[in-house]
Amino acid sequence: MHIPWNAFYNSSKSAARMYSEFLRLEMAPLGVKVVTVMTGVVDTNMIVNCPDSNLPADF
């Protein structure tokens, strides 16, 4: 989910994906399979308390 001002959230999701990918490569010779499941949008209150989720016009 790409929401302005959520760099930390977005980068943590990217890090989880890369960790899983490298774990898959490292474990393959041992016969271990690693699958990464990345869900789509989930209806939560994640951005309800964000004061403003829009970037400034001059950004």
5, 9, 19, 22: which is the annotated catalytic residue?
A: 9
CB 38 within 8 A of CB 17: yes
Query: Could you confirm whether 33 is annotated as catalytic?
Result: no
44/29 Cα distance (integer angstroms): 39
4, 5, 12, 13: which is the annotated catalytic residue?
A: 13
User: Would you say the C-alpha torsion 15, 17, 37, 31 has a positive or negative sign?
Assistant: negative
Query: Could you confirm whether 19 is annotated as catalytic?
Result: no
List active site positions: 9, 13
